[in-house]
Each structure stands twice: as structure tokens, then as C-alpha cells.
Structure 1
């Protein structure tokens, strides 16, 4: 079968590889759509995970069940499914507390185990979720959207503290717009998005969000105006500055991935005096069902996918620099629908 393979750090090619063998408890999925995430590029360069090579990347994918092992129930050939990529031990203190995304022995399809940038993927059947008639390219957004759901939960947006009336997302990339879409879908009345790039701000406006140019006078006038503020840039200076936009009693979420060795500076007194909650979020925590529910409620999220390509045309996107007109890039099989 054809697959994209990370042969070693920084080396990626489309390669012919054997079809993976079916194992007990597993199902073979014919991949129909797989999304490229910035994490995939970090994995390629050995900056995320354990640097396991060779590796078939791809942790955002959906497809059709081709075969199931004899001991699998609840999943049948022909089922349309999406994959929860996180593989957890279930035994460590974090898993026992329900924080499976923080598993001490966390593995993941596309990160430590072969993933979805291939014609076939063998997956533990417990990691498959039925998608009904949801289009495969939309279903492949369930994994990043599940990460968003985990983040909103960590910040208390989905908890007992009450739904915010206003929200600001800083960063209008794919994950920032997924955050904004999710906030609007769950009922936040005012959703604004800030970015420094005009092309991305045009997309913000096309989605119907309130656009702000980063660093503009208009944005500076919005200090303490938002009940919830999320960073989706991974830029330390942005993280440091986002507190100024949080209203008293509000919450801020660090969602973007800053470099591991970076440090941010806050005024602890301001967090104390204005009773601001500061939260972090990593990956997804069994949030695929929540994400699928949101996807069925807002099909416009599919507009985030700007490139649907055959496998052979995906390779350059792992190595070239970012293009602000490019949002979500997906491998889509010819027969996908």
C-alpha cells in the first residue's frame, strides 16, 4: 500500500509499505480522509513525542472499516468511523483520575504508532467511533475539535462556572477558528478573533466572527472586555499579553504550543485581584463524541479545509513554510464521501 513515511528526523517520502497485519482486538480501516496538523511536523523533526522512526504519521483521520479481528464486537466491516488516536495505560494516577490525556505512558497513532497517512491503518477497535453519514473530511476534524473541547473544559467554559457572554481567540489559524466556531456553537454571544495577517482576518470575517488586527488601536480599546480569552498562537509574547483582555472574574486558556524552554511573565497580583482563572490544555481526553456532536450541528466548519489532496501531493506540506492562505490540509481518498 501507499503511505507517507517519516524515515528519520526530517526525512519524509511517499513510500510503498506492506499492508499492516490485523491483530486481536483490532480493526483495519481503509483511510478516507486524514488531516495534517502542525504536530505532525514537530514529530517529523523529533520535537514531539519520542522520535520513533520509521513512522506513518497522521492522528486526525476517518475511514471505513475493512476487516475486524474475531474477538471484536460492536464494529463491523463497512462501518464509517473516526479514530481517537490517544493510547493510554489506564493504570497510572492520571488515568485513574480521568486525565487520560496526561497518561504517564501516553502513546498515539501517528505519533508513536503508525497512523492515518496511508491507505490502511490497523487500530485498536476501542478507539473507533461511528460517524453515521458525516462526510469523511468533516469527521477527520473530530480529533482537533476534541482537543478544543478538552481545552474549553479545562478553562471552565463547559463547566459549572457558566457560559461566557464574550470571547476572544488570538490566532486565526485552523485551531483558532475551530475554537471560535466551538464557542459560537455552544452559545457564546460575542466571538472575536485577532490575527496579524490580512488574509486570515478576511477568513475570520467570512466565518462571521468579529475581526481584530493584532496590535491595533481597536484591539487595545477592548481591554478587560472578554469573559474568556484563548491563545492559539503559541507565541510567548501573545500569552503574556492576553490577560489584559480578560474581564474581571474571567478565564484565560493557553492552547497554543509554546516552545518547551520558553518562559512567560505575569503579574500574580492581577490574577489574584481580578480573580482570573488561567488554564492549560493538552491534547484530547475522550472528547471525540462531544466533537462529533458539534460537527453535526455546524457543517460550516468544513470550510476550514482548504486543500483536499491525494496522498502523493501531501508530502510538500510537511516541509514547506506556512502560507497564510492555507488552512487545513487533508489527504482525501478518491472514493471518499
Structure 2
């Protein structure tokens, strides 16, 4: 089969690989759509995970079941599925508390195990979720959206919770827009996104979201105005600036992935005096079914985030070269 393979730190190639035998408890999935995430770039450069080379990347994917092991029940050839990529140990303290995304030995398809940038992928059957007739390119958004769901759960902003009146997401990339659209879907009255790229802000406006240019006087003037602020940039200085944008009693969500050695300055007195909440969110926590439910009800806004559907050959350069086109959002491998 054709696949993208990371052969070493910073080295990516198009390869011909054997599919391999089907272990007990697993299914063979013909990949129909797989999304590119910045985490894939970090995996390539050994900044995320254990540097398990050689490796087929890709943790955002969906496809069709082509074969199942003899011991697998409840799953049949021909089923259309989305993949939950996280592989927790199930036994550590975090797993026992229901925080499988914080497993001390967390593995994942596309990080430690071969993932979705290939024609076929062998996946544990209990990590496959039926998508019905949902188009594959939309189903492949379930993984990043599941990360958003985990973030909103962390902030207590789902399932009938009292929602913030004014919310701001900093960063109008695909994950930031998924977060903003999810806040809107949960009935937040006013949702805005901030970004330095005015083309992205124009696209956000097409999706029904407010837009503010990062660093502009307009944003500075809204100091202490937002009940909820989330950073989706992973830039430490931007994350630090969230606190000044929070209204008293507000919540800041550290959602973007800052460098591990990055540090920010925080005033404990201000957090105390203004009763602020600072929260983190990592990955997804068995939230693919919730994400699929949101995608079914979305009405097509989130699907518009898929800007490119490419072959494996065409998508390979995106691993080593940063896109310069501001219209580039979610780039996906799409099987012919």
C-alpha cells in the first residue's frame, strides 16, 4: 500500500508498505480521509511523542472497514467509521480517574503506532465509531472536534451549563474556528475570534463569528470584557495576554500547544482578587461520539474548514513546508 512514512527526525517520504497481519481485536480500515494537524509536524521533528520512527503519521481519520479479526463482534466489513487515535494504558491513576487523555503512558495512532496517512490502517476495533452516511471528510474532523469537546468539558461549558455571554478565541486557524463554532453551537451569545490574518477573520465572519485583529486598539479597548477566553495559537505571549482580557470571574482556557519550556508571568493576587479560573486541556478524552453528534447537527459550517482534499503525493510537501496561502485551513488526504 502507499503511505507517508516518517523515517527519522525531519525525514518524510512516500513509501510502499505491506499492510501486515490483522491481530485479534483489530480491524482493517481503508482510509478515506485523514486530516493534517500541527501535531503531525511536531511528531516529524520529534517534539511530540517518543520519536517512534519509522512511523506512518495521521491521527485524524475516517474510512471503511475492510476486514475484522475473528474475535471482533459488533463491527462488520463495509462499516463506515471514524477513529479514536488515543491508546491509554487503562491502569494508571489518570486512567482510573477517567482521564485517559492524561495517561502516563499514552500512545496513539499516528504518534506511536502507524496512523491514517496510508491507504489502509490496522486499528483496534473498540476505537472505531460508526458514522452512518456522514461524508468521510467531515467525519475526519471528529478527532480535532473531540479535542474541542474536551476543552469545553474542562471549562464546564457543555450539556446545559450556563454559557458565557461574551467569548473570545485567539487564533482563527482550523482548531480555533472549531472551538469558536462549538461555543456558538452551545448557545454562547457573542463569540469572536482574534487573529493577525485579516483573510482568516473575513472567513470567520462568513461563518457567523465576530472578528478582531490581534494587537489592534480594538482588542486592547476590550480589556476585562470577556467571560471566557481561549488561546488557540500556542504562543506563550498570547496566552499570557488572555488574563487581561478576562472579565471578573472569567475563565481562561490554555488550549493551544505552547513550547514545553515556555513560561508566562501571572499575578496570583489578580487571580485571587478577580476570582479568575485558569484551565488547561489536552487532547481528547473518549469524546469522538460527542464530536460526531455535533457534526451531524452543525449544518455545514465546520465542513467548510476543509480547504484541501489531496492525494498522498500531493499532501507530502505540507509536512515539510509551511503553507503561505491564507486560504489554507484544514488539509486532508482524500482517497480517490
Q: TM-score range by the shorter chain?
A: over 0.9
Q: Is the 8 A contact 1:185 1:297 kept in 2?
A: no
Tell me the residue number matched to 2:328: 326
With 201-210 and 130-139 compared, the bigger mean Cα shift is at 201-210
> Is 2:308 the counterpart of 1:307?
yes
CA deviation after TM superposition for structure 1 residue 259, in Å: 0.5
The residue correspondences of 1:22-61 to structure 2 (distance < 5 A) are 22-61=22-61
CA deviation after TM superposition for structure 1 residue 161, in Å: 6.0
Residue 12 of structure 2 aligns to a residue in which SS? Answer: strand
Q: Take 1:174 and 1:278, find their aligned partners in 2: how far apart are those partners?
A: 23
Q: Take 2:145 and 2:237, find their aligned partners in 1: how far apart are those partners?
A: 25
- The alignment covers a number of residue pairs equal to 334
Q: Take 1:247 and 1:322, find their aligned partners in 2: how far apart are those partners?
A: 36
The residue correspondences of 1:86-105 to structure 2 (distance < 5 A) are 86-105=86-105
Q: Take 1:223 and 1:240, find their aligned partners in 2: how far apart are those partners?
A: 13
Q: Take 1:259 and 1:325, find their aligned partners in 2: how far apart are those partners?
A: 26
Tell me the residue number matched to 2:77: 77
CA deviation after TM superposition for structure 1 residue 311, in Å: 1.1
Q: Take 1:260 and 1:159, find their aligned partners in 2: how far apart are those partners?
A: 32
Q: Take 1:18 and 1:321, find their aligned partners in 2: how far apart are those partners?
A: 30
Residue 314 of structure 1 aligns to a residue in which SS? Answer: helix
CA deviation after TM superposition for structure 1 residue 304, in Å: 0.5
Deviation by residue 1:31-57 (Cα, 9 ceiling, x = unmatched): 000000000000000110000000000
For the aligned residue pairs, the C-alpha RMSD in angstroms reads 1.0
Q: Take 2:109 and 2:51, find their aligned partners in 1: how far apart are those partners?
A: 13
Q: Is the 8 A contact 1:20 1:120 kept in 2?
A: no
CA deviation after TM superposition for structure 1 residue 265, in Å: 0.6
Deviation by residue 1:221-255 (Cα, 9 ceiling, x = unmatched): 21121111000001111111111111111110000
| TM-score, length basis structure 2 | 0.98
Q: Take 2:161 and 2:138, find their aligned partners in 1: how far apart are those partners?
A: 31
CA deviation after TM superposition for structure 1 residue 322, in Å: 3.6
Tell me the residue number matched to 1:169: 169
What stretches of structure 2 of length at least 5 have no aligned partner?
none
What stretches of structure 1 of length at least 5 have no aligned partner?
none
Residue 182 of structure 2 aligns to a residue in which SS? Answer: helix
Q: Take 2:61 and 2:211, find their aligned partners in 1: how far apart are those partners?
A: 30
Q: Is the 8 A contact 1:56 1:110 kept in 2?
A: yes
Residue 91 of structure 1 aligns to a residue in which SS? Answer: coil
Residue 148 of structure 1 aligns to a residue in which SS? Answer: helix
Tell me the residue number matched to 2:240: 240
Tell me the residue number matched to 2:252: 252
Q: Is the 8 A contact 1:58 1:116 kept in 2?
A: yes
Q: Take 2:265 and 2:126, find their aligned partners in 1: how far apart are those partners?
A: 42
CA deviation after TM superposition for structure 1 residue 20, in Å: 2.4
The residue correspondences of 1:134-173 to structure 2 (distance < 5 A) are 134-158=134-158, 162-173=162-173
